[in-house]
Structure 1
Amino acid sequence: MLVVSRFRVPEAEGPSFREGIAAAHAVLAERPGYVAGQVGRNLDDPELWVLTTRWEHVGAYRRALSSYEVKLHAVPLLSRALDEPSAYEVVEPGTVLNDHDARSVG
């Protein structure tokens, strides 16, 4: 699964945000199920930042977020993310995509 978290950060806060997002990414990268990730900044709008992470499955990501270390060192920064959906299933040839109806039942 892929997580895309975007952030709107005033340019004056850019240097400190860069340090904070790198630290948050490092803490996430230590968690079981983490596959890869990157921090980026938009070329056309330098106030727009992104953290993308890839996980073995949604359970690994959710467990990572509930860990003490992540709650302490990453969640405060992650809470600054834009309020938009951030979790995506990876679409690759031959994969079966989640069925929206099945998730909403119950």
Structure 2
Amino acid sequence: MLVVTRLRTPSGPDTPSGPGNPDPAAEQGLREGLLRALAILAAKPGYVGGGVGRNIDDPTLWVLTTHWKNVGSYRRALGSYEGKMHIQPLMVHALDEPSAYEVVEEGTDLNEARSRSLG
């Protein structure tokens, strides 16, 4: 399972010539928070790999990517004490978009988009 979470740092006020520049303090805080989040997640069972990146063209856009053995491992890591205390507060900066992806490899049966019953 892949998790791709894109986040945006607050920027300064817009000007007549375009959008405002990134707020350096907010940018540094998000960077440190994402690196700490990655370290926390990397210590959890089922973690395979991950990284933090910043968009080349839009420096206010950041990404946290992680690869997990399965969806349960990711959910347990995010729901852990450390996840709730240090990772969840970062999500205020996350873009409102789907973030969980299945890994597609040769011979993989892909998930079907359909309703599921609990009973």
TM-score bucket (shorter structure): over 0.9
Query: Is the radius of gyration larger for structure 1 or structure 2?
Result: 2
Instruction: Determine the structure 2 residue equivalent to 1:5.
Output: 5
Question: Structure 1: which 5+ residue stretches go unaligned?
Answer: none
> Given the alignment of the two structures, is residue 22 of structure 1 paired with residue 35 of structure 2, yes or no?
yes
**Scaled by the length of structure 1, what TM-score is found?**
0.92
**More helix by proportion, 1 or 2?**
1
**3-state SS, counterpart of residue 84 of structure 2:** helix
Instruction: Determine the structure 2 residue equivalent to 1:71.
Output: 84
TM alignment of 1:25-64, pairs within 5 A? 25-64=38-77
**3-state SS, counterpart of residue 74 of structure 1:** helix
**Scaled by the length of structure 2, what TM-score is found?**
0.83
**3-state SS, counterpart of residue 77 of structure 1:** helix
Distance (Å, rounded) in 2 between the aligned partners of 1:57 and 1:79: 25
Q: Find 1:87's aligned residue among 100, 103, 108.
A: 100
Question: Structure 2: which 5+ residue stretches go unaligned?
Answer: 12-21
Alignment RMSD (CA, Å):
1.0
Contact 1:8 1:81 in 2 (8 A): yes
Q: Which amino acid aligns with 1:4?
A: V
Q: Which runs of 4+ in 1 moved over 4 A?
A: none
Instruction: Determine the structure 2 residue equivalent to 1:97.
Output: 110
